[in-house]
Amino acid sequence: MNKKLLFFMLFLPIFTIGQQVGNFGIKFHGFVKSDLLFDSRQTVDAREGHFLLFPTNENLDPDGNDINGKSSFNMLSIQTRLQGFITGPDIGDIKTSAYIEGEFFGMNNADINGFRLRHAFLKLKWKTASILVGQYWHPLFATNCYPGTVSFNTGAPFQPFSRNPQIRLTKSFGGFNIILTAMSQVDFMSNGPGGASPSYLRNSTIPAVNIRAEYEVKNEDNGMGFLIGASANYKSLVPRLITVTGYQTSQKISSVSFAGYAKFVSKAITLKAYGFYGGDAYNLTMLGGYAVTANTDPVRDYVEYSCMKTNSYWIDFTTNGKKLAWGMFGAYSKNLGSSDKIVGATYARGANIDFLYRLSTRLIWNVEKFRLAPEIEYTTAAYAKQGALDIDDYGKVTDSKAISNFRFLIGFYYFF
């Protein structure tokens, strides 16, 4: 209660000022959202099932019954969102603006319903260039080409999903854009010996960097449009500062990732496609991570690491009706393992999964500011049948069993 009271005490004066200054100030928008959901089995998720990744593996009791086969349901309103669009006077030829967005998703299950920051950035814009400083989507999440699902996972773990403090430079050449980004981590963190933490990236003293290029063309007369883009990402981590035997260490693990995407728009339909390949995608809410692949000094416990690689692909289709729209989403992801033999600990998501796939269909009905959006989502995870016995020395699953979950979801929205 104290958090909510403090939040409104802070923002109410700003809202009042924004109304008084005319063109300059802050304008609030957002939506109230409630989700009703049902799962046919237990799932790997966040916030009491709201953010679904994939179904849990079988857990058989002495009679052979699957403990995780139990269905569940929930009703949540934690995606209710508040957005603040902030404008100010120009600085010469530079247009200035800022944006802040929060939700009641909390930082963890214990903090569910707690208000947390999603985005907070300032932007300086010239005629053909801009600088963004603050917290925003990871550049591998293309904001002009992402799944239109009703589910809050927005296609994760097939779609990179992460928000990061960053400095982003954009240069435009007509319909062609080059975007350079340097990032740290806060909510979406890399994994390591101490669990998920931003300290591994911080201790590398090198921000994660991304370069993205995209070309977009639009025809306002016939409503046609086309977008194509590609992105490359680099990240370096220092998993430990001290070894098990008490020696200082600063051994790094570096990873690169690549993505490509395309979008076609007409008056009637929108079609999107995305592909990803890379190592250590744990912080992107995807399969993957890294593992110990060499012990170079057993006495001092000096080790080397290798990335667990992942590829992922998705396609999204939707009709463009303003009142009624229908859409479909399909995705596949594969655990490609490590290039080197694994001899020690693995710090990865889904290390016992061979592949994932998902199919979903949705219907969106809009009436004024109200939206009703039912969705059916079918997700399958292929787990190693006999656990570690069916995972080879390189982290690849050699024999698997498909475990599936049906999610039935209805989203209720009211926009303001």
> What are 208-223's pLDDT values in tens digits?
999 999 999 999 889 8
The predicted structure's pLDDT at residue 3: 52
The predicted structure's pLDDT at residue 109: 84
| Sequence-ordered list of residues with C-beta below 8 angstroms from that of 62, at least 6 positions apart, any chain | none
Question: What's the whole-model pTM score?
Answer: 0.92
Contact yes or no for 300/243 (Cβ under 8 A): yes
The predicted structure's pLDDT at residue 17: 46
Residue 387 lies in a domain: yes
Residue 370 lies in a domain: yes
Could you tell me what percent of the chain has a pLDDT over 70? 94
Residue 157 lies in a domain: yes
CATH number, residue 383: 2.40.160
Structure tokens that stand for 86 in this block:
């902030």
Residue 366 lies in a domain: yes
The predicted structure's pLDDT at residue 274: 99
The predicted structure's pLDDT at residue 1: 45
SS3 7: helix
The string of pLDDT tens digits covering residues 370-382 is 999 999 999 999 9
pLDDT tops 90 at residue 301: yes
Contact yes or no for 262/317 (Cβ under 8 A): no
Structure tokens that stand for 252 in this block:
């790094």
Residue 297 lies in a domain: yes
Phi, psi dihedral angles at 11 (to 5 degrees): -90, -25
From the list 208, 214, 238, 242, the residue with the least C-alpha distance to 228 is 214
Residue 32 lies in a domain: no
Q: In the chain, how many domains are there?
A: 1
For β-strands 302-319 and 324-338, DSSP reports them as antiparallel
Report the helix count and the strand count for the chain, using DSSP H and E: 2, 21
The predicted structure's pLDDT at residue 6: 47
The string of pLDDT tens digits covering residues 102-152 is 999 998 888 899 999 999 999 999 999 999 999 999 999 999 999 999 999
Residue 219 lies in a domain: yes
Residue 46 lies in a domain: yes
**Residues 276-308, buried b or exposed e (16+ Cβ, 10 A)?**
bbbbbbbbbbbbbbbbbbbeeeeeebbbebbbb
The predicted structure's pLDDT at residue 108: 84
Its domain, for residue 191, covers 41-69+118-415
Q: Span 278-302, mean pLDDT?
A: 98
The predicted structure's pLDDT at residue 20: 44
Compute the mean pLDDT over every residue in the chain, rounded to the nearest whole number: 95
The predicted structure's pLDDT at residue 50: 93
From the list 258, 312, 48, 263, the residue with the least C-alpha distance to 140 is 258
E-assigned strands of 220-267? 224-237, 253-265
d(CA 394, CA 388): 12
**What radius of gyration do the chain's Cα atoms show?**
23
Amino acid found at 154 = T
E-assigned strands of 238-299? 253-265, 269-279, 288-297
Query: How many other C-beta atoms can be found within 10 angstroms of the C-beta atom of residue 377?
Result: 22
